């Protein structure tokens, strides 16, 4: 660094209470690594924040030194925007505070908290809010992009349950955003993907859930995929909001309830969670068993927190990942045929195609009520390419892109911003749809110089 820059960095280290890491420091390489191993970037420095005041100091440093800024919460984002080359990585992972008001059914959470940590704190009171399906995901990134999971049909998107947020803006100020205070910023935070500031505290509405839920898997052989997926598509159109069923096509992992000869072979699985009385849930899921001749099932009443971690072994940190995603208002025969075709030629044992069912309460919010506008999306499909070595990159990425193109004619408008990769900037306006123009105006107001641009960027132009 230049001498002037070095003096400013030295002063920053005096005022900043967290740790500051540089290349060559002992923890530097560990902290800069994120979930998706295809992303390998080296920041000039990493500021490990411990408070909102630390975040303010980091933002002011970035402005005075004209540094590229990336913001890390859980570091799980597929596009890898948590880490930058040659700039400042603002690391929020140490900010994990959770406060629960069980009587008011409200909770606040800091941006370094993961879904698993937040779920555990809430379930101690028999409460939950809709989150994702992988416990190592960060609450902050999930929320800012929309957020959906097993509870979303009953209680809405994650953002539908966000009540307020404390935000450090691009000028280094601290503001509170809610429906009644800085309401325009609050509108943009709910789906805007971190374009408008760094959230240092989220406040959520909570709901009584669990502590035990009926949940599990039914696994069918792949040669029955057409029958299973067609019946899945029709069943999910009319099922009650308490029930959520997703479909997954992949090679079978070594699940203990499957015979050994099924391991490693293509299969189609129905994953389900019932958020009401388990006895009633058993009656509602009985038709699923008739969709084909199952290879096996593992369904029962278990802690909600256990089900929230059930897919963690398939989503561990350190593999190479590439995703493509579509929204669907309805799963047509054409979409189902495309899924079956490409699930029949998986390029890696870890690749999969999953269809997450939403709808229900998520569809009852007006499209312009917040930045996330895809309220007609009853299904979100993720083409999940996942593999181990760089030698497989070309083959696995090509498979994902080909399937994306093949299934596109059957998709609906919009896209889930959290599933966009780093090479999909041309889809950002499409993803937001009717709210995009308003988001550009909001960006002009809160971040006119585009300081926060390591994201699915909404440019202030």
| Contact call for residues 139 and 73 (beta carbons, < 8 A) | yes
pLDDT at residue 441 is higher than 60: yes
User: How far apart, in whole angstroms, are the C-alpha atoms of residue 34 and residue 40?
Assistant: 8
Average pLDDT over residues 329-356: 97
Burial of residue 91 (CB within 10 Å: 0-12, 13-18, 19+) is buried
pLDDT band at 2 (very low <50, low <70, confident <90, very high): very low
Average pLDDT over residues 289-303: 97
Fold assignment, 98-209+434-446: 3.30.465
| pLDDT > 70: percent of the chain | 99
Rg of the chain over all Cα atoms, to the nearest angstrom: 22
User: pLDDT for 93-124, tens place per residue?
Assistant: 999 999 999 999 999 999 999 999 999 999 99
User: pLDDT for 220-238, tens place per residue?
Assistant: 999 999 999 999 999 999 9
Q: Give the list of residues 6+ apart from residue 377 with CB closer than 8 angstroms, or none.
A: 327, 328, 329, 358, 362, 412, 414, 416
CB atoms within 10 A of CB 54: 24
Q: Which of 8-12, 284-288, 306-310 has the lowest mean pLDDT?
A: 8-12
Domain ranges of the chain: 3-91, 98-209+434-446, 212-419
Q: What is the mean pLDDT of the chain?
A: 96
Domain 3-91 has CATH 3.30.43.10: yes
pLDDT band at 75 (very low <50, low <70, confident <90, very high): very high
pLDDT band at 345 (very low <50, low <70, confident <90, very high): very high
Domain 212-419 has CATH 3.40.462.20: yes
| Contact call for residues 27 and 43 (beta carbons, < 8 A) | no
Confidence (pLDDT) at 3 = 45
Average pLDDT over residues 133-153: 98
Distance of CA 284 to the CA centre of its chain: 28
User: pLDDT for 253-278, tens place per residue?
Assistant: 999 999 999 999 999 999 999 999 99
Confidence (pLDDT) at 11 = 87
pLDDT band at 1 (very low <50, low <70, confident <90, very high): very low
pTM over 0.85: yes
Distance linking the first and last C-alpha atoms of the chain: 32
pLDDT band at 240 (very low <50, low <70, confident <90, very high): very high
Angle between helices 225-238 and 333-343 (to 10 degrees): 140
User: pLDDT for 377-433, tens place per residue?
Assistant: 999 999 999 999 999 999 999 999 999 999 999 999 999 999 999 999 999 999 999
Q: Give the list of residues 6+ apart from residue 202 with CB closer than 8 angstroms, or none.
A: 108, 109, 110, 111, 139, 140, 143, 162, 164, 165
Burial pattern 242-277, b for ≥16 Cβ within 10 A else e, equals: bbbbbbbbbbbeebeebeeebeeebbbbbbbbbbbe
Instruction: Tell me the C-alpha to C-alpha distance, in Å, between residue 367 and each of 141, 363, 459.
Output: 21, 9, 21
| Torsion sign, CA atoms 193, 196, 201, 206 | negative
| Contact call for residues 47 and 89 (beta carbons, < 8 A) | yes
Confidence (pLDDT) at 9 = 82
| pLDDT > 90: percent of the chain | 97
């Amino acid at each position: 660094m230049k001498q002037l820059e070095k003096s400013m960095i030295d002063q920053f280290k005096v005022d900043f209470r967290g740790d500051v890491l540089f290349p060559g420091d002992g923890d530097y390489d560990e902290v800069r690594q994120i979930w998706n191993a295809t992303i390998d970037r080296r920041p000039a420095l990493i500021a490990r924040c411990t408070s909102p005041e630390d975040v303010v100091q980091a933002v002011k440093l970035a402005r005075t030194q004209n540094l590229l800024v990336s913001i890390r919460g859980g570091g799980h984002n597929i596009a890898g925007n948590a880490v930058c080359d040659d700039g400042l990585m603002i690391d929020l992972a140490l900010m994990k505070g959770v406060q629960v008001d069980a009587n008011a059914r409200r909770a606040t959470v800091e941006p370094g908290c993961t879904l698993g940590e937040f779920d555990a704190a809430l379930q101690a009171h028999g409460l939950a809010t809709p989150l994702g399906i992988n416990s190592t995901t960060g609450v902050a990134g999930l929320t800012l992009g929309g957020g959906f999971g097993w509870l979303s049909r009953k209680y809405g998107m994650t953002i539908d349950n966000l009540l307020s947020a404390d935000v450090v803006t691009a000028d280094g100020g601290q503001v509170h955003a809610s429906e009644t205070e800085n309401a325009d910023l609050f509108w943009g935070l709910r789906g805007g993907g971190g374009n408008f500031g760094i959230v240092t505290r989220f406040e959520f509405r909570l709901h009584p859930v669990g502590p035990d839920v009926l949940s599990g898997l039914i696994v069918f052989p792949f040669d029955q995929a057409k029958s299973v997926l067609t019946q899945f598509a029709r069943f999910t159109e009319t099922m009650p909001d308490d029930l959520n069923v997703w479909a997954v096509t992949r090679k079978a992992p070594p699940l203990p309830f499957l015979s050994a000869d099924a391991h490693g072979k293509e299969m189609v699985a129905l994953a389900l969670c019932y958020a009401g009385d388990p006895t009633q849930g058993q009656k509602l899921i009985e038709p699923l068993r008739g969709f084909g001749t199952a290879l096996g099932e593992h369904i029962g009443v278990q802690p909600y927190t256990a089900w929230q971690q059930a897919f963690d072994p398939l989503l561990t940190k350190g593999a190479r990942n590439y995703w493509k995603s579509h929204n669907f208002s309805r799963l047509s025969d054409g979409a189902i045929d495309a899924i079956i075709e490409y699930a029949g030629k998986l390029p890696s044992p870890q690749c999969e195609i999953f269809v997450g069912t939403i709808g229900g309460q998520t569809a009852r919010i007006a499209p312009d009520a917040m930045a996330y506008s895809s309220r007609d999306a009853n299904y979100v499909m993720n083409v999940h390419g996942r593999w181990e070595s760089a030698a497989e990159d070309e083959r696995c990425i090509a498979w994902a892109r080909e399937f994306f193109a093949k299934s596109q004619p059957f998709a609906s408008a919009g896209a889930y911003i959290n599933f966009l990769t780093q090479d999909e900037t041309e889809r950002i306006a499409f993803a937001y749809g009717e709210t995009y123009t308003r988001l550009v105006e909001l960006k002009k107001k809160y971040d006119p110089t585009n300081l926060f641009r390591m994201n699915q960027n909404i440019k202030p132009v």
